[in-house]
């Protein structure tokens, strides 16, 4: 008899539901996972919910176990933690790049065990911290650098959290929302609004996904400094202020993206190695500051529209599943 599960599905732009989905029959190398928690990647998932993935990016934006196609119906997401019910390593708590679904079947090679000192409710941040690790491998910050992270969302805050341990560095989290100062304080880094942010930075990482944030990032970086663009703008075409002193100051603007391991590490690190590193970093309880909201799995169809409309502020939204 076919086993069934429930998944969060975007039926069409702006409309979602909890849908019944059939589970594949597990093979000898597959695991059956019962989900305990998942996490909404607010920026990307609200773009998917609103139907703002450009057709040219449909292939690149597919999640590993996505069901359906953009703009919908589509089962999307990639931050899940659960327990292996059956298959190799039964009983383990694991992280998987899987959509919001109460049970799922995947090859055992796609799950990574959560370290014993990392609570499952925090482990859902692994994919976001992995993004931060990759960005910092691309950016290559140095001891004593003056660094700004523009955009104190979940990704920007993850970057700041990892940077907080860099010896001698001045790390400042920059955001228009002054309430994010509490997050910066919990992470052990400075905070400033865009107008008050310290300039002459050696490195700026931009994660606000706004034109204004990108423009301010170029203003904050010092001569011959670098701005690393982490934002994904979906189908928008932001204006980039490359006039005035951009050329005379010899600034660098470059992109980073987690889909591939940063070139400087690629010969020696796999994506699984990188994910294991992110999970080890999550032993630090400071990362709890990045999850500011939660909901039950069954509430997600009502929560996602509020997130997409900006009516439910905060950082990470953890989705909790019935045991």
pLDDT at 235 over 80: no
How sure is the predictor about 2, in pLDDT bands with cuts at 50, 70 and 90? confident
Higher pLDDT, 20 or 44: 20
Task: Determine the longest span between alpha carbons in the chain, in angstroms.
Answer: 69
Tokens representing 287?
Answer: 């990362």
Predicted pLDDT of residue 11: 98
Predicted pLDDT of residue 67: 97
Q: Which fold has domain 4-125+282-320?
A: Quinone Oxidoreductase; Chain A, domain 1 (3.90.180)
**Mean pLDDT computed over 268-272:** 96
d(CA 38, CA 48): 17
Q: Where are the domains of the chain?
A: 4-125+282-320, 129-255
Residue 161: which of 70, 290, 256, 257 has the closest Cα? 290
Predicted pLDDT of residue 47: 92
Residue 5: which of 112, 93, 95, 106 has the closest Cα? 106
- Side by side, which strands form the sheet with 170-174? 190-192, 170-174, 146-150, 201-206, 221-229, 252-255
Contact 95, 37 (CB under 8 A): no
Helix axes 154-163, 42-50, angle to 10 degrees: 160
In Å, how far from its chain's centre is CA 45? 10
Predicted pLDDT of residue 202: 98
How sure is the predictor about 167, in pLDDT bands with cuts at 50, 70 and 90? very high
Predicted pLDDT of residue 236: 80
pLDDT at 135 over 80: yes
Q: What is the pLDDT of residues 7-21, one digit of tens each?
A: 999 999 999 999 999
Q: What is the mean pLDDT of the chain?
A: 96
How sure is the predictor about 239, in pLDDT bands with cuts at 50, 70 and 90? confident
pLDDT at 234 over 80: no
Is 3.40.50.720 the CATH number for 129-255?
yes
**Mean pLDDT computed over 72-81:** 98
Rg, C-alpha atoms of the chain: 20
Identical fold for domains 4-125+282-320 and 129-255, yes or no, is no
Tell me which residue has tokens 């930075």.
Answer: 201
Predicted pLDDT of residue 179: 94
Q: What is the pLDDT of residues 168-205, one digit of tens each?
A: 999 999 999 999 999 999 999 999 999 999 999 999 99
**Mean pLDDT computed over 31-60:** 94
In Å, how far from its chain's centre is CA 192? 22
How sure is the predictor about 245, in pLDDT bands with cuts at 50, 70 and 90? confident
How sure is the predictor about 238, in pLDDT bands with cuts at 50, 70 and 90? confident
């Amino acid at each position: 008899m076919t086993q069934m599960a429930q998944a969060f599905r975007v039926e069409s732009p702006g409309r979602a539901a909890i849908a019944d989905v059939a589970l594949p029959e597990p093979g000898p190398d597959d695991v059956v996972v019962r989900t305990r928690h998942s996490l909404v990647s607010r920026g990307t998932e609200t773009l998917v919910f609103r139907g703002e993935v450009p057709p040219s990016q449909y292939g690149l934006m597919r999640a590993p176990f996505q069901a359906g196609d953009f703009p919908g119906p589509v089962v999307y997401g990639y931050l899940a933690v659960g327990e292996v019910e059956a298959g190799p390593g039964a009983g383990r708590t694991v992280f998987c790049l899987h959509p919001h679904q109460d049970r799922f079947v995947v090859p055992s090679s796609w799950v990574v065990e959560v370290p014993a000192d990392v609570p499952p409710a925090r482990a859902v941040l692994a994919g976001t911290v992995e993004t931060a690790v990759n960005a910092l491998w691309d950016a290559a910050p140095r001891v004593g650098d003056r660094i700004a992270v523009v955009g104190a969302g979940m990704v920007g805050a993850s970057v700041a959290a990892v940077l907080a341990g860099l010896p001698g560095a001045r790390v400042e989290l920059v955001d228009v929302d002054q309430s994010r100062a509490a997050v910066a304080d919990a992470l052990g880094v400075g905070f400033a609004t865009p107008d008050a942010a310290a300039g002459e930075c050696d490195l700026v990482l931009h994660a606000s996904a706004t034109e204004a944030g990108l423009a301010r990032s170029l203003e904050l970086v010092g001569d011959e400094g670098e701005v690393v663009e982490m934002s994904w703008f979906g189908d928008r075409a932001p204006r980039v202020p490359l006039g005035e002193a951009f050329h005379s100051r010899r600034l660098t603007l470059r992109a980073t993206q987690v889909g591939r391991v940063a070139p400087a590490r690629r010969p020696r690190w796999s994506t699984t190695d990188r994910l294991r590193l992110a999970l080890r970093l999550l032993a630090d309880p400071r990362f709890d500051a990045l999850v500011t909201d939660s909901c039950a799995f069954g509430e997600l169809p009502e929560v996602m529209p509020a997130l997409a409309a900006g009516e439910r502020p905060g950082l990470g939204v953890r989705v909790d599943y019935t045991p």
